């Protein structure tokens, strides 16, 4: 299928991905899992999760291979790769205009909403990030990588986890410190908010302002929006582009509220994204922003956060950092 693993597409935390072709002529991406992933629950978890999903904005599993310790997942090939190549790469970022960015954001939100409410069981992804959003030939986004996903009953308001699931910079704070709130589908909402921040490119805009470079970028966004100032979204000066940037920013700020109870559901996120920007209001400063955020949180240049104080052994859970 892959001609002896000839064309390598990329390397992830669980293994390598290769380009292949089925006998029918369809192109596929073959994800060959490393020994640790193949021998563990990740392989079974991804098959069991993706096998029950059928949505235009979720990657489709074609099949899988399992022989002793060698395991692989087969997906339809996405010719435009993953979203991170476009929003984290200066050379490629210009190929996505604001209208396309907005369409991708809305469709990713629809995919997450389907996972939360569209199946006979609730699926929590726990690793929403640009690397896991694949783009087909028409730049339609597909949510991928379900090895960290958790299945739970649709009427269940919280889930129990023994370890944290997610990637630093996108993982919800309640997964780091259980005293913040219950772990639920709101963790995916938080990750979507951080994804929107990346798409709007605000954390990179912040680094270009030397006088503001030490400020955690959501604070900087709050300051600008509350003063009625425009957010710099690059070289675009069209009013529609600025409205898109402002809308995505305000929705992102709602999604990254510290307390999960203050974050909107995915239904509400879609309602805000598809509504009139003039009807949106900026949420209040999260509690950790109102005081001295340096006392409890540290941040690096790309928005990753780690808990520093006021935690005990029972509230610390392992963070899985995935390339």
Which positions ≥6 away from 191 have C-beta within 8 Å? 125, 126, 127, 128, 129, 166, 170, 171, 172
| Residue 281, number of CB atoms within 10 A of its CB | 9
Rounded-to-integer distance, Cα 243 and Cα 8, Å: 40
Q: Do the Cβ atoms of 127 and 148 come closer than 8 Å?
A: yes
Q: How far is CA 315 from CA 87, 188, 321, in A?
A: 34, 20, 18
Distance CA 276, CA 121 (A): 32
Are 242 and 176 in contact by the 8 Å Cβ rule? The answer is no
Q: Compute the C-alpha angle 113/119/121, nearest 5°.
A: 110
Six token digits for residue 160: 């129990």
Catalytic residue among 42, 127, 145, 188: 127
The Cα 61–Cα 74 span in angstroms is 6
In a 3-state reduction of DSSP, which class is residue 323?
coil
Helix axes 239-255, 217-226, angle to 10 degrees: 120
Q: What is the dihedral of CA 80, 84, 86, 88, to 10 degrees?
A: -160
Q: Determine how many CB atoms are found less than 10 A away from the CB of residue 184.
A: 21
Q: Does residue 127 have an active-site annotation?
A: yes
Helix, strand, coil shares, percent, the chain, to 5:
40, 15, 45
Spell out the residues 6+ positions from residue 300 whose beta carbon is closer than 8 angstroms to its own.
none
**Active-site positions?**
127
């Amino acid at each position: 299928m892959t001609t002896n693993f000839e064309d390598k597409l990329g390397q992830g935390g669980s293994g390598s991905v290769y380009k292949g072709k089925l006998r029918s002529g369809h192109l596929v991406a073959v994800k060959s899992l490393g020994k640790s992933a193949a021998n563990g629950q990740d392989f079974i978890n991804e098959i069991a999760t993706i096998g029950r999903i059928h949505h235009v904005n979720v990657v489709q599993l074609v099949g899988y291979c399992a022989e002793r310790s060698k395991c692989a997942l087969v997906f339809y090939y996405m010719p435009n790769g993953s979203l991170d190549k476009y929003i984290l790469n200066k050379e490629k970022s210009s190929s996505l205009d604001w209208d396309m960015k907005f369409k991708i954001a809305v469709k990713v939100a629809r995919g997450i909403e389907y996972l939360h409410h569209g199946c006979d069981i609730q699926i929590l992804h726990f690793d929403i990030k640009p690397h896991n959003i694949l783009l087909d030939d028409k730049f339609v986004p597909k949510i991928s990588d379900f090895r960290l996903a958790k299945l739970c009953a649709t009427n269940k308001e919280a889930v129990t986890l023994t370890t944290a699931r997610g990637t630093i910079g996108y993982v919800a704070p309640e997964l780091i410190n259980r005293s913040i709130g219950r772990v639920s589908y709101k963790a995916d909402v938080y990750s979507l908010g951080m994804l929107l921040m990346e798409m709007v490119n605000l954390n990179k805009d912040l680094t270009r302002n030397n006088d503001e470079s030490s400020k955690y970028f959501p604070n900087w966004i709050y300051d600008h929006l509350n003063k009625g100032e425009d957010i710099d979204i690059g070289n675009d000066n069209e009013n529609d582009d600025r409205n898109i940037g402002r809308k995505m920013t305000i929705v992102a700020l709602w999604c990254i509220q510290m307390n999960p109870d203050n974050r909107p559901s995915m239904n509400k996120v879609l309602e805000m994204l598809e509504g009139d920007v003039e009807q949106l209001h900026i949420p209040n400063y999260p509690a950790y922003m109102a005081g001295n955020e340096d006392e409890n949180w540290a941040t690096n240049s790309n928005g990753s956060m780690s808990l520093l104080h006021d935690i005990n052994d029972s509230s610390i859970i392992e963070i899985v950092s995935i390339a």
